[in-house]
Structure 1
Amino acid sequence: MEKKTLVLGVIGSDCHAVGNKILDYALSEAGFNVVNIGVLSPQEDFINAAVETNADVIVVSSLYGHGEIDCRGMREKCDESGLKDIILYVGGNIVVGKQEWEDVEKRFKAMGFNRVFPPGTSVDTTVECLREDLGLK
């Protein structure tokens, strides 16, 4: 079976590299082809990498709390770039302040993200969701 390709990175002005490296390692070990664009990445870098590699999923990480701002309009930009069917994941500390998770998740799903992961989500959960969403189960 051909490996599914994921574009992974940390969006916006966020420079949290350790979690990104852990995700890269764990997702690679789980059998995915991971294209890690690193930290401090604008939406365009995720999208360009996905187009260039024919990726199946974009995995956006954000820990500094401004993910909601950084992710606005990403689904539309994906669609404009010919990535209408790409699966979008986002996770981490994606909003500032204490907010009800259900509300946060609802807003990100309204922005076109397929899965929205709260802080502290295990990599095993992410891998399980990827396998489900990619029909690998």
Structure 2
Amino acid sequence: MSIQNQSVMGLDRKEIDDKILNELHEGRNVPSNLADEFGVSRQYIQQRLKLLEAANYVENIGRGVYEIINDPRDERAVDDTRADVSRICHSVRAALTALEDESPNIETCRSELEDALEECDARTSR
């Protein structure tokens, strides 16, 4: 999922920032290598790295070598997982409420619970 112009800690993250983070996730790198990889100027990469550094996402560990220290995309993954878990819990609660109300269609409730559990299993196996 690419984020364009998402404001995080005052930084308008762009697609290039996610590309930089992807490369740094693979290991330390320098602006000239990143510039060559993306077909942009070294100065532009340095500008983006300075902004990412100011947001505490990357660090210049010396001699222009950068590494990732706090990946903002991890925060999105946690938020997405929370939303998924919340949705699954809602489905389970609705099915349980229907069972408590002695719904005449118990098989439907059972099916909904099984679907929710399959989805939960799929999410936790990632």
Using the size of structure 2 for normalisation, the TM-score is 0.23
Q: Which one has a larger percent strand, Structure 1 or Structure 2?
A: 1
Q: Which one has a larger percent helix, Structure 1 or Structure 2?
A: 2
Report 1 or 2 for greater relative contact order, CA contacts < 8 Å, sequence distance ≥ 6. 1
User: Which of these two proteins has the greater Rg computed from alpha carbons?
Assistant: 2
Using the size of structure 1 for normalisation, the TM-score is 0.22
